[in-house]
Chain A
Amino acid sequence: MTSHRPIDYRSNDDSHLDSAREREKQRALALAASVGSLMVGMRRGGLSGLVLGAFSGYLAYRASTGRGLKGTGRSLMQGAERTLTGHRAGPLELSAAVTIARPSEELYAYWRDFTRLPAIMTSITAVENLADGRSRWQAETPLGGTYEWEAEIVEDVPGERIVWRSLEGADVPQTGEIRFVEAPGGRGTQVELKLRYELPHGLLAAAPLGFVNALSREAVREDLRHFKQVMEAGEVPTGAIHVSTREGVAR
């Protein structure tokens, strides 16, 4: 299993501030920190000074609203996360769809064998089938490490849909659903992929696991594109000359 543990920012519980005395203490601390960072910021000048100045203003604001220092870290993280990724803490749902000129039974059969998904899903490096419809999934972190989780199939309707979810103990609890619907006018099958990640600690906290890149609509769409390429043309194309970025996959 992984060596990375997401950092816990869940300390924004205000119940410990029930005594007025504690609140006053927090307010004083925040104010002191605000003045301190303003002084350091003014002495340093430049960009870092500007950042410290802004931070000082933020702390003064917190002091004025009586929230104090506690929870500042988490609050800042959430703000940064909204700014950087447009995502609020909580479950993240991604979906994309593609039309593939093959019958739904064929597409279902390919996907149902999860061990073939690494050829299609960029973030997944290996999937191994275990007993009782369970499977072990492996993904690579940006630093070259790997992490794993186990999943089980929750729903399985041949030719129509497959739903799977991670088992207890996954770093990022997740659910996946793929649906196959006949396209109009004999154009094959409309394939819709929905992925839901719980992200109890937010998206940035999952960054060390390399999830920020994988967790985008573009990435889901790209994975579906690979599925289409493999099912229609028998291989994932590459513009490389000498070294393929992905292995060619025979259908």
Chain B
Amino acid sequence: MKAVCWHGAQDMRVDNVADPQILNPRDAIIKITSTAICGSDLHLYGGFMPGMQAGDIVGHEFMGEVVELGSAVTNLSIGNRVVVPFTIACGQCFFCDSGYHSLCDNSNPNAGIAEKMWGQSPSGLFGYTHILGGYAGGQAEYVRVPYADVGPMVVPESVSDEQALFLTDIFPTGYQAIAQCDMQPGDTVAIWGCGPVGQFAIASAKMLGAARVIAIDTVNERLDMAARQHGAETLNPRDVGNTLQIVEALRDMTAGRGPDICVDAVGLEAHGVGPEYWYDNIKQSLQMETARPIVLRQAIMACRKAGTVSIPGVYGGIADKIPIGALMNKALTIKTGQTHVQHYLKPLMDHVERGDIDPSFVITHRMRLDQAPEAYDMFQARRDNCIKVVMQP
């Protein structure tokens, strides 16, 4: 089969590899009909995530048709059209039972490595480093899906591929970023990063009743989408300046209170201006920190007293100069984590089916799987106003 394989930084190739097989009783094989490139795939493409090996099949946003089932999977049938959560979860451990599927105790075969890095291991993920299991991803013609009796969800006929595809990751990820914050009536939500996850966070904040949403990004097309689609107010850091000036601007926009909920939907490759950005850039390239936590600093500094900082943006290792004094003295709450997709899949599918939201609004490019290297390059450079690429094998 054809599959998109990582061969190093800035080096994605479409390789011919052997088809996947059923290896465990709870496995299924899915023939992929639609697959997308996630912003977090760009962290792999940029070479920022440790634990990748040349030849790894990438991709964790995919859906398709069930073509083969392991002996223990009885709730699916051959031919079912399914979306597959990017978090791999057994459904039967303490964390899955509690709705924390991205913290599944059992799905990471390399949990020992993750424990060395993070103390405890989260769940395995498709196509996202050997630290999280080394599972082959879904930017391919076929994929092996473990625990298929728990993860994949059958898509109603009335819902198209493009409407269902983002239930695998970015819609629930944006939704969880808001839902985990205990939002109160009248709350203002500031969201850094208006890529696809940011767009769904904005949409979810509106859906869950935020009084105001402030969208922050350096790319004007993304701010336009946020304003046009969800009526968000916008702030472009390029027009404002450095971290202190952004914090001041947000304080002014909220009459001195600061946003009640601050969402870092950017993660480890944040951009900034001046000495702060140079500092992080140098430390990151010398591998003295794995992240440039510029947005995280801004979110903590800007957040209202006793407010919540929510971090759906991806981080891998360590970061410097976190304003711990602001965090402590303002009594902030931090909410973060990979997304418990299985927990949100059903209610969000219902929203889509009822027509409350059409997630396909983020798609800017439709391409063939063969064009993946070109698509990565374009998405990384934000060329051609690229926000979201969907590919078909």
List residues of A whose CB falls within 8 A of some B CB. 99, 101, 187-188, 218, 221-222, 225, 228-229, 232-245, 248, 250
Contact = CB atoms under 8 A, between A and B. Distances in A.
Interface in B22-51: 23-27
Interface in B72-118: 72, 88, 90-94, 97, 105-112
Contacts of A239: 109-110, 124, 130, 133-136
B373 interface: no
B23 A233 contact: no
Contacts of A187: 94
Given A221-B112, A228-B105, A239-B135, A233 B21 contact: no
A245 B130 CA distance: 15
29 contacts: A99-B94, A101-B97, A188-B94, A218-B112, A225-B112, A229-B90, A232-B92, A233-B106, A233-B107, A234-B25, A234-B26, A235-B24, A236-B24, A236-B109, A237-B24, A237-B90, A237-B108, A237-B124, A237-B133, A238-B109, A239-B134, A240-B23, A241-B17, A241-B144, A242-B18, A242-B20, A244-B24, A248-B25, A250-B72
B193 interface: no
Contacts of A237: 24, 88, 90, 106-109, 124, 133, 146
A237 B23 CA distance: 9
A235 B146 CA distance: 10
Nearest to B95: A101
Contacts of B97: 101
B147 interface: yes
**Contact residues on B (Cβ < 8 Å of other chain), bracket:** 35 or more
Contacts of B20: 241-242
B57 interface: yes
Given A237-B133, A241-B20, 14 more contacts: A221-B112, A228-B106, A229-B90, A229-B106, A233-B91, A236-B24, A237-B107, A238-B24, A239-B109, A239-B133, A239-B135, A241-B18, A241-B21, A248-B27
Given A239-B110, A239-B130, A240-B23, A234 B72 contact: yes
The dominant DSSP class at the B interface is loop
A14 to B, nearest CB: 44
A242 B17 CA distance: 10
Given A232-B106, A237-B107, A242 B92 contact: no
B373 to A, nearest CB: 21
Interface string B128-162: 00100111100000001011000000000000000
A232 B112 contact: no
A244 B109 CA distance: 11
Nearest to A237: B109
A228 B124 CA distance: 16
Nearest to A235: B24
Contacts of B23: 238, 240, 243-244, 248
Q: Ordered nearest first, which 10 A-B pairs have the shortest CB separation?
A: A248-B24, A233-B90, A239-B134, A244-B23, A233-B106, A239-B133, A241-B136, A235-B24, A229-B106, A237-B109
A188 B105 CA distance: 13
A243 B136 CA distance: 12
Given A240-B23, A242-B21, A232 B105 contact: yes
Contacts of B17: 241
A229 B135 CA distance: 17
Of A187, A188, A221, A238, the most chain B CB neighbours within 10 A belong to A238
Interface in B258-306: none
Nearest to B70: A248
Contacts of B110: 239
A213 to B, nearest CB: 13
Nearest to A221: B112
Contacts of A101: 92-94, 97
Contacts of B147: 233
B60 to A, nearest CB: 13
A240 B94 CA distance: 25
Nearest to B17: A241
B75 to A, nearest CB: 15
Contacts of B21: 241-243
Contacts of B70: 248
Nearest to A101: B94
Contacts of B144: 241
A188 B92 CA distance: 12
A205 to B, nearest CB: 27
Nearest to B71: A250
